[in-house]
Amino acid sequence: MLNRRRLFGLALSALLLITTVGCQQPPGVHLPAGPYTIAEIFDGDSFNLKARNGELVRVRIAGIDAPEKTQPYSNKAKESLAEILQSGEISLEPIKIDVYERWVANVSVARQDAGLMQIQRGYAWFFVRYKQDLTEEQRRRYADAERAARDQRRGLWAGIDAAARNPALAPEPPWKFRERARKEK
């Protein structure tokens, strides 16, 4: 009897891991319909929207990673995203739900790719770790946009010359910042 319970518990745990840690959209969960209005912007890649039915929609832009709240350029990245989101009608192409229960989605504003615009402005990195969430064309555009932003010293890349003299001033990718913060705890 104990072995059956243990086996059932393991099977249930595996199912939960597949639907949450695996980040796939759980069956029966649907993105509420737009039009959307901005409810809150957290940083340069995540925000809440209010759907037509009044439901709150938590969103993480697919394929990008912007500075964390305590990193340099975080406020500028947030301001840039706010400007983008306020520039037209917002539409979402959902990909999955992440472990924080946010919709990871391609976000378009006035038919323009909001993630690409954040990278072009120099306020986000192409998040290569999650490149499988993007099409091959998006991957190419995001990588090219990041390279151009660096070369043209836009956004957080503006101080890159000073960083060559003082590595402490170099823009730190958010995923490395989070990893370092976890190790320091």
Q: What is the pLDDT along the chain (185 residues), one digit of tens a residue?
A: 444 444 444 443 333 333 334 445 555 578 999 999 999 999 999 999 999 999 999 999 999 999 999 999 999 999 999 999 999 999 999 999 999 999 999 999 999 999 999 999 999 999 999 999 999 999 999 999 999 999 999 999 998 877 777 777 788 999 999 999 899 88
**Residue 167 counted as domain residue:** yes
**Residue 107 counted as domain residue:** yes
**CATH number reported for the structural domain that contains residue 162 in this entry:** 2.40.50.90
**Structural domain of 152:** 30-184
Contacts of residue 88, Cβ cutoff 8 Å, sequence gap at least 6? 109, 110, 111, 112
Contacts of residue 109, Cβ cutoff 8 Å, sequence gap at least 6? 84, 85, 87, 88, 89, 90, 91, 117
Cis peptide before 35 (omega within 30 of 0): yes
For residues 62 and 113, what is the distance between their CA atoms, to the nearest angstrom? Answer: 10
Query: Phi and psi of 89, rounded to 5°?
Result: -70, 130
What is the number of structural domains in the chain? 1
**Residue 170 counted as domain residue:** yes
For residues 128 and 134, what is the distance between their CA atoms, to the nearest angstrom? Answer: 10
What is the pTM assigned to this prediction?
0.82
**Residue 73 counted as domain residue:** yes
